[in-house]
Amino acid sequence: MKADYINNGDTIYLVAPSFGCVTSPYKKRLEKSINNFKALGYKVIEGDNIFKALGYASSNTKELRGKEINDAFKSDAKVVLSVGGGEVMTEILPFVDFDIIKENPKWYVGFSDNTNLTYTITTILDIETIYGNCAPSYYNLPLTYDRLDTFNLLEGKLEYKGYKKFQTTSTKKIFPDYEFNRNTKIINYNNFDILEGRLIGGCLDCLQVLCGTKFDKTKEYIKRHKEEGIIFFLEACDFNSVGVIRALTQLKNSGWFDDVKGFIIGRSLNMNDKSFGINMIDAYINVLGDLNLPMLLNISLGHINPSLPIRCGGYAKVEYKKHNIYITYKE
C-alpha cells in the first residue's frame, strides 16, 4: 500500500521524533526550508517539538515525541516529514499508535534515525515510506539532486539513477551550495545486472537495534512478499568496519536475509575507516558474500551528500548499467 502522491497546495506536517532543530546551522536551515516549502506551493504544519531540545538527546520526552507522530497522522496532511535524525528515536516506538497510521496512510519521510519509522511502518503495516532527506535540507531553491528527487518521489515520478559525484569537503556556511568533488565508483559484486522486488532497509545502526524486538516484523514481511522478491538497501552512520560486520552478522543470523534477491549498499559516514585493516567494502562482502547474491556497493545512498532517496516497500526494477544504478518503480 502507498499513500496518494502529493499535489500543489497539499500540506506537509513537520515532526521531530529524534533531534529538534535548536542549534546552528539546523535551526536556520529549517526556517529557510519552511519558507521554501511554502514558496513551492505547499502548506506547512509545524509540530510542537521541531524547535525544542527538552528530552535526553532528543526534542522532547519519548511520550510527547510519540504523540507528535500520532497527531501528524491524524491530521489532513499528505506528508509527515522529519526535521532530523539523531540517537534515541527507538524509544518512541511504544508510544506510536500504528493503528492510527494504518487508518490514515501518509508518506513518512526521513533517514538515519528515522529508520525506526520508515522501516517499521513498511514492515509492520505494508505502507510505503521514503528513506530520504530531512526537512532542513531544502534550504536552497531550486531543488537539486537528492532534494529534488525526494519531491519527485512524493509527486509520483518513477525513474531514478545514482549521482555521478559526491561531496567530501565540509563547509561552515549555513546555506552552502555543495560542490560534489569526488567521482562515485560503484562496485558490482556477483554480476549484479537486473533485479526486481520490494526495496526495504535503512540505516544499519538502527536496524540492528530493531532486530529481535516486538517491532521486528521483517521475516513476516518477507514471507508476504516472497513471490515478488526482496532487495535490501543498507548504509551505516556511526559504525566502523567491524561494527558493520557485527551488525550484519546479527541480522543474518536472525534470518533477515534468508529469502532476499540481492543488496544495494550505500556509502558509510565512516567510509574511509580501516579498523583492524578491514575497509567498509570488505566488511559487507565478509558477511554477505557467502550468500552468493548480487550486490552493488558504494552507491549514492547514506550520510554523505547526495543520497538517493528510496521508496521503502516500493516494488522496483533495479539495474546496473553505464557504471551506475538505475531504479524504476512500478505501480
More confident residue, 172 or 59: 59
Question: 35 with 135: CB under 8 angstroms?
Answer: no
Structural domain of 305: 161-329
pLDDT tens column, 88-124: 999 999 999 999 999 999 999 999 999 999 999 999 9
Q: Judge if 38 and 127 occupy the same domain.
A: yes
Residue 228 is assigned to a structural domain of this protein: yes
Q: Chain centroid to CA 253: how far? A: 23
pLDDT of residue 9: 97
Mean pLDDT taken over the chain: 96
Would you say residue 177 has pLDDT above 90? no
Q: How many domains does the chain have?
A: 2
Q: Judge if 227 and 321 occupy the same domain.
A: yes
Select from 127, 157, 187 the last residue of a domain.
157
Looking at residue 325, its amino acid is I
Going by C-beta distance under 8 Å and a sequence separation of 6 or more, which residues neighbour residue 236? Answer: 203, 204, 205, 243, 244, 247, 268, 269, 270, 280, 302
Q: Judge if 108 and 206 occupy the same domain.
A: no
Question: CATH number for the domain including 315?
Answer: 3.50.30.60
Q: Judge if 181 and 209 occupy the same domain.
A: yes
pLDDT tens column, 270-319: 888 899 999 999 999 999 999 999 999 999 999 999 999 999 999 999 99
pLDDT of residue 216: 98
Question: At what angle are helices 241-253 and 280-288 packed, to 10 degrees?
Answer: 20
Q: Judge if 67 and 213 occupy the same domain.
A: no
Select from 157, 181, 213 the last residue of a domain.
157
Residue 297 is assigned to a structural domain of this protein: yes
Question: CATH number for the domain including 96?
Answer: 3.40.50.10740
Residue 114 is assigned to a structural domain of this protein: yes
Residue 289 is assigned to a structural domain of this protein: yes
Main-chain dihedrals φ then ψ at residue 209, nearest 5 degrees? -70, -35
pLDDT tens column, 202-239: 999 999 999 999 999 999 999 999 999 999 999 999 99
Q: Judge if 207 and 141 occupy the same domain.
A: no
Q: Judge if 153 and 166 occupy the same domain.
A: no
Grid cell, residue 52, equals 525544542
Residue 3 is assigned to a structural domain of this protein: no
Q: Judge if 188 and 259 occupy the same domain.
A: yes
CA atoms within 13 A on the CB side of 27: 8
Q: How far apart are CA 201 and CA 31, in angstroms?
A: 30
Question: 231 with 266: CB under 8 angstroms?
Answer: no
Q: How far apart are CA 60 and CA 62, in angstroms?
A: 6
Select from 109, 137, 157 the last residue of a domain.
157
Residue 6 is assigned to a structural domain of this protein: no
Q: Judge if 114 and 259 occupy the same domain.
A: no
Task: Report strand pairing: 324-329 vs 315-321.
Answer: antiparallel
Considering the entire predicted model, what is its pTM?
0.97
Q: Judge if 239 and 271 occupy the same domain.
A: yes
pLDDT of residue 211: 98
Residue 60 is assigned to a structural domain of this protein: yes
pLDDT interval class at 168 (50, 70, 90): confident
Q: Judge if 168 and 253 occupy the same domain.
A: yes
Instruction: Tell me: cis bond preceding 25? Omega within 30 of 0 counts.
Output: yes
Would you say residue 172 has pLDDT above 80? no
Residue 1 is assigned to a structural domain of this protein: no
Q: Judge if 272 and 142 occupy the same domain.
A: no
Query: Can you give the three-state secondary structure of the chain, one letter per residue?
Result: CCCCCCCCCCEEEEECCCCCCCCCCHHHHHHHHHHHHHHCCCEEEECCCCCCCCECCECCCHHHHHHHHHHHHHCCCCEEEECCCCCCHHHHHHHCCHHHHHHCCCEEEECHHHHHHHHHHHHHHCCCEEECCCHHHCCCCCCCHHHHHHHHHHHCCCEEECCCEECCCCCCCCCCCCCCCEECCCEEECCCCEEEEEEEEEEHHHHHHHCCCCCCCHHHHHHHCCCCCEEEEEECCCCCHHHHHHHHHHHHHCCCCCCCCEEEEEECCCCCCCHHHCCHHHHHHHHHHHHCCCEEEEEEEECCCCCCCEEECCEEEEEEECCEEEEEECC
